[in-house]
Amino acid sequence: MRNQDQLCSIITIGDELLIGQTIDTNSAWMAQKLNAIGLWVHRRVAVGDGWKDIWSTLDEEGKKSGIVLITGGLGPTADDITKPLLCEYFGGKMIVDPGALANVKHIFEVILKRPMIERNLKQAEVPDVCTVIQNDRGTAPGMWFEKDGVIYVSMPGVPSEMKGMMDLSVIPKLKERFQLPPVIHRTLLTAGVGESFLAERIKDFEEALPEDIKLAYLPHYGMVRLRLTARGGREGLDQDIDQRFKQLRDSLTDVLVADDDKSMQLVVGELLRARSKTMSTAESCTGGYIAHLITSIAGSSDYFKGSVVSYANSVKSGLLEVAEDILMTHGAVSKETVEAMALGANQRLGTDFSVATSGILGPGGGSPEKPVGMVWIAVAHGAHVASRMFQFRFNRERNMEMAAQNGLNMLRQFILERLPG
């Protein structure tokens, strides 16, 4: 049974969340952070910009949780009602916080170099019954309240601002306040096998786990993360989870991508950097998305040279030097074309390795011979090239993700085959 004082609720505020205009990524990120220090998020609630709705939600969550984290509704416009509502809810009055005021002035006068209006200055106002959490990434301060033994923390809905407050202030204060049980995570990444088949394969391993070690399956676009989590302070728990993690890893070597919580693009980058090799992409259906994933990793300039987004056949032939007769005979979505694209990328961009894609992501454009979801992917190194056809069955967005992740995994496997050092 979990201590109610250490149970958390997350409230996200904003009509835009309820109508689907904005996707709530805040609560997922916050839950991960809280779980990592031993705090359990057992409720997540989205509520619109309505005074009564927010008030009743605060009442309800305060009865169920010892910690209530709130994001949204702290902006300078009339629909941002969270701050005045919290002032009334906790029985305070508005005052100007000197630190928040200095922060607002610095942002406008020094960084933005433009005059402030009264609406901007009001961002520095806070209820006098809160502890102010300064915002080093924006103008709206956060607020820490306590009532009837429950902690309430209000933060901006802007993800970067909320994350800064959580990392610098909220998480450290919660760790000081609570005697939290140790939480140990061990994560590995697999590819090429579905979640259900993976579960069947390691069924005996999972059934043998003790009560304080749990296994979680986290599927994502053709990959499955397996996470072992140990909670509690029993003697030897660290050694036990390490031993079981090694057992799990050793049983899955044929589908193992990484024995850490890493993305596929990071794994590929580490392989290239370790071998002092470079890569490029030649993308048709994925439209540069693989290049985007690669360059989302800091330091990718060490190994990534560039990309040719060859959506049109004229670009395939003109920039990648795919022979016209290949395009005429086999079409853009074919083994021959995608292999020529991969070889052409290495030659034109001067790289060691390349990955190329060409396919039909949908919803239209398919034919009986080449249905929607058909994607050809090729990888090349020097004169060596390998290709594979995939048949995805999802919508356009997910088909693109599947193509990109499978392309990166093919490149990972190809690097290891060609340069296994």
293-317 confidence digits (pLDDT tens): 999 999 999 999 999 999 999 999 9
pLDDT of residue 4: 66
pLDDT (tens digit per residue) in 266-298 = 999 999 999 999 999 999 999 999 999 999 999
Q: Is the pLDDT of residue 349 over 90?
A: yes
Pair 404, 377: CB distance under 8 Å: no
Distance between CA atoms of residues 185 and 179, nearest Å: 19
Residue 232 contacts by C-beta under 8 Å, 6 or more apart in sequence?
A: 181, 182, 212
Q: Which residue's structure tokens are 């140790």?
A: 182
Q: Is the pLDDT of residue 205 over 50?
A: yes
pLDDT of residue 181: 78
| Average per-residue pLDDT for the chain | 95
Pair 294, 268: CB distance under 8 Å: yes
Q: Is the pLDDT of residue 2 over 60?
A: no
Count H helices, E strands: the chain? 17, 17
**b/e sequence 324-360, b meaning 16+ C-beta within 10 Å:** eebbeeeebbbbbbbbbbbbbbbebbebbbbbbbbbb
- State the pTM of this model: 0.80
pLDDT of residue 121: 86
Q: Which residue's structure tokens are 């390795």?
A: 353
pLDDT of residue 1: 43
Instruction: List the structure tokens of 286.
Output: 């994925």
- Stated as kind and residue range, the H or E segment containing 229 is strand 223-231
pLDDT (tens digit per residue) in 78-136 = 778 999 999 999 999 999 999 999 999 999 989 989 888 888 888 999 999 999 999 99
Pair 335, 389: CB distance under 8 Å: yes
Q: How far is CA 48 from its chain centroid?
A: 25
Beta pairing, strands 40-47 & 7-13: parallel
Q: What is the mean pLDDT of residues 166-171?
A: 97
Q: What is the mean pLDDT of residues 319-328?
A: 98
- Enumerate domains of the chain plus CATH numbers: 4-177 (3.40.980.10), 183-258 (3.30.70.2860), 264-418 (3.90.950.20)
